Chain A
Amino acid sequence: MNAITPHHFLVLAFLLFGVGFLGVVIRRNVLLVLMSLELMLNGINVALVAFSRAGANLDGSIFVFFIMTVAAAEVAVGLALLVALYKRRKSIFTEDMGLLGN
């Protein structure tokens, strides 16, 4: 693997991050917004691992570990919130979350 440089991984990471961001921006289903956030984190993970590999340094990989933990926790809380809200509103679409505003 000598034609592939960290830059390729960086570009790939940016692409994943961007795609996730796109999802956050355009999807109106909160579930999918959460998934897109996960996708962004995955992009970051890719970059992190690539860097740690390129720098022969383990800290990055360990960081990935923590990121996964945090992501899982966030998702759990988010889904719980979502369910609680769904019980009241019977909807998980963002345009229905307009109680707070102005």
Chain B
Amino acid sequence: MSGPDLLFYLFAALSVGGGLLMVLSRHPVSAALFMIVSLVGVASLFVLLDAFFLAILQVLVYAGAVMVLFLFIIMLLDVGPEGAKASRMKFVSGVAGLISVGLLLVLLLDLGLGSMESSDCSADDCDSCGESAAFAWPEIRDETAANGSSLVFSPSVKAFGFGLLAKYMLPLQVAGFLLLAAMVGVIILSKKSKGEESGLNQ
């Protein structure tokens, strides 16, 4: 087990553990902080996968902007911890949720690993059955190239830029409009308007 493997397990534990704690912690603020932890873990996994640009984005957008927004709202509404009221219902739903999510995971893993088995046994050399270390990560060249209609993986930001502006031009524009719509929506939802007086007095 070499260093990167250790790192993988470390960061995986970090992200999953952070997520779990976020889900289970009673106070929203702590939940948000745990969330940040798990996000950072994910970011570092991106680094492991040579997606440096995405890692940066992850930290900036998620851990930075989004979570700060969350924290800001939490402070604004100063939500306390979930009260113990309706605890039985909470307990029942929690147990049911655990069970069903467990089932979901089992199914997903079964599907994923099932495909892996079929892959190994479909391979010709049956000696490699079982141990999946036979997978060789393709080596990456630091250059932006396109192979047919697909873009070749490269850690460089340049490749991203080309990809976005050349191949994914239209989605990029659409995403811009998406953000515009979101912005307009947020404004319309939260700004005070003369129309509101009619609604408030009820």
Contact = CB atoms under 8 A, between A and B. Distances in A.
Contact of B153 (A10, A57, A79): A57
Contacts of A21: 101, 104
Interface string A4-46: 1111111110111111111101111101101110110010011
B70 A25 contact: no
Contacts of A5: 132-133, 135
B23 interface: yes
Contacts of B45: 9, 12, 46, 49
Contacts, number: 238
Contacts of B135: 5-7, 54
Interface residues of B, number: 87
Secondary structure of the A side of the interface? helix
A72 to B, nearest CB: 6
Interface in B83-109: 86, 89-90, 93-94, 96-98, 100-102, 104-105, 108-109
Interface string B110-135: 00110010000000000000001101
Q: Name which of A8, A65, A86 has the most chain B CB atoms within 10 A of its CB.
A: A65
A57 B150 contact: yes
A80 B189 CA distance: 6
Contacts of A6: 135
B182 A58 contact: no
Given A5-B132, A53-B50, A81 B189 contact: yes
Contacts of B42: 16, 42, 45-46
A26 B61 contact: no
Q: Name which of A36, A52, A70, A79 has the most chain B CB atoms within 10 A of its CB.
A: A79
Given A17-B108, A31-B70, A22 B101 contact: yes
Nearest to A74: B182
22 contacts: A2-B133, A4-B5, A18-B108, A19-B20, A22-B23, A25-B96, A25-B97, A31-B73, A34-B70, A46-B15, A46-B46, A49-B51, A56-B152, A58-B150, A58-B163, A65-B164, A72-B66, A73-B182, A76-B186, A77-B185, A77-B189, A95-B89
Given A2-B133, A45-B54, 6 more contacts: A9-B49, A11-B112, A61-B153, A69-B178, A74-B182, A83-B76
